[in-house]
Amino acid sequence: MDTTKKDIRALSKEELRDFFVENGDKAFRGNQIYEWLWIKSAHTFNEMTNLSLTTRKMLEANFVINHVKVDKMQKSIDGTIKNAIKLHDDLIVESVLIPTKKRTTACVSSQVGCSLDCNFCATARLKRMRNLNADEIYDQVVEINKQSELYHNHKLSNIVFMGMGEPLLNYKNVLNAIDKITNDEGLGMSAKRITLSTVGIPKMIKKMANDEVKFNLAVSLHSAIDEIRSKLMPINDKNNLADLLASLQYWYQKTKRKITFEYVVFKGYNDTQNDINALVAYCKKVPSKVNLITYNNIGDEEFQSADGKIIQQYVKTLEANNIIAKVRKSRGDDIDAACGQLANKMD
Ligand code: SAH
């Protein structure tokens, strides 16, 4: 890799236009390049056939296009595809294509590794190496969209930021990527089909609401009792449930969009009626629905999925209180592609 040249996709459209003007060309040239880089996802300057050879050579001399590469691909018996995505500096992240009957969903990563220490999550065991750039997030979607077209004959329908990393700790790049994904000068997908999942950082949730983002918000709750949530997710020590709730109420007030709570029921942690009641009470304070996720084993004894019976009890009680609750089937767990199993294990 050439580290002296700048990644051209770090430049905004305006910056590209300025670059050409400064180099004695027309600003319009910047628009052309921008289209090649984003809508057409060009991998080389040579592909940009409506540019003169001189322009292409000049770009080549000044910039690189750091595209990601699908390094390995694994297919689950349920059709889920896990990709190991190699970045320009040889680090690896994982992105997953999850097909259902009518839809295909991309689960993308926002960081290499993760700095949070959720005790039940495999990604937490990898230390955070770095944030992904906007183009690296965008590229994951482009690659998964290709797989959706190839294997399912239609475009990608949804995107969830539920891969590796905490998107709200890489806010600027994640928003920039979503902007490109939703823009007509990018992939032109609807923001309504994008969900950002966070561990729940109140300050950042408020910021998102102020920034008037148009995508959906999911929060990994896992317990509505501070003491228990802190045991599962140490981030709760400094960002407790009351602060989280205040930020979610603010989000709803600004966006009028319901929050999805992700909730894994663990044996011995949050599997009593008391836990259920606490969740119901919490949900009643802000318009929300609950996705009950079955726990995917990550190879230690500490965390186990709770009994199916108690999960049904959660659903029953939530529904009796007019809160929508769904049990999410685990997908791709035979290839460690399910939630919390992404840990660069591709053998
Ligand atoms: N950092 C973000 C997104 C990544 S995790 C977040 O915390 O939301 C995506 C979802 O998978 C989260 O709800 C997380 O709590 C859940 N998860 C992590 N490990 C899991 C596991 N082993 N089984 C099931 N879900 C898990």
pLDDT in tens, 181-224: 999 988 999 999 999 999 999 999 999 999 999 999 999 999 99
- Compute, in angstroms, the gap from residue 220 CA to the centroid of ligand 1: 7
Percent share of the chain, pLDDT over 90: 85
Residue nearest to atom 3 of ligand 1 (CA): 162
pLDDT of residue 296: 85
Q: Which two tokens stand for residue 119?
A: 């005790």
Task: In the chain, list all ranges with CATH 1.10.150.530.
Answer: 6-64
- Catalytic: 136? no
Q: Check if 124 has its Cβ closer than 6 Å to any atom of ligand 1.
A: no
Per-residue pLDDT tens digits for 14-23: 999 999 999 9
Q: Is 166 a catalytic residue?
A: no
- Quickly list DSSP for 125-152: GSPP-EEPPHHHHHHHHHHHHHHHHHHH
Six-digit token pair at 166?
Answer: 């905490």
Backbone angles phi, psi at 123, to 5 degrees: -65, -30
* Reported confidence tier of residue 283, pLDDT bands at 50, 70, 90: very high
CA of 340 to the centre of ligand 1 (A): 5
The answer on pLDDT for 164 being more than 80 is yes
Average confidence score pLDDT of the chain = 93
In this structure, what token pair is assigned to residue 60?
A: 């080549």
Mean of pLDDT values over 5-31: 94
Where, residue-wise, is CATH 3.20.20.70 in the chain?
69-335
From 110, 112, 121, mutation site for ligand 1 pocket: most ligand atoms within 8 A of C-beta = 121
Cα 173 to middle of ligand 1, angstroms: 20
- pLDDT the model gives residue 47: 95
- 107, 114, 283, 339: which one is catalytic? 339
In short, whether 340's Cβ falls inside 6 Å of ligand 1 is yes
Select from 233, 262, 297, 305 the residue to mutate for testing ligand 1; criterion: most ligand atoms less than 8 Å from CB.
Answer: 262
Domain 6-64: give its CATH architecture: Orthogonal Bundle (1.10)
Residue nearest to atom 25 of ligand 1 (CA): 339
**Ligand 1 within 6 A of CB of 264:** yes
Tally the residues of the chain.
347
CATH number for region 69-335: 3.20.20.70
- d(CA 219, CA 205) in angstroms, rounded, equals 10
pTM greater than 0.85 (yes/no): yes
pLDDT per residue as tens digits for the range 108-136:
999 999 999 999 998 888 888 899 999 99
pLDDT on residue 218: 98
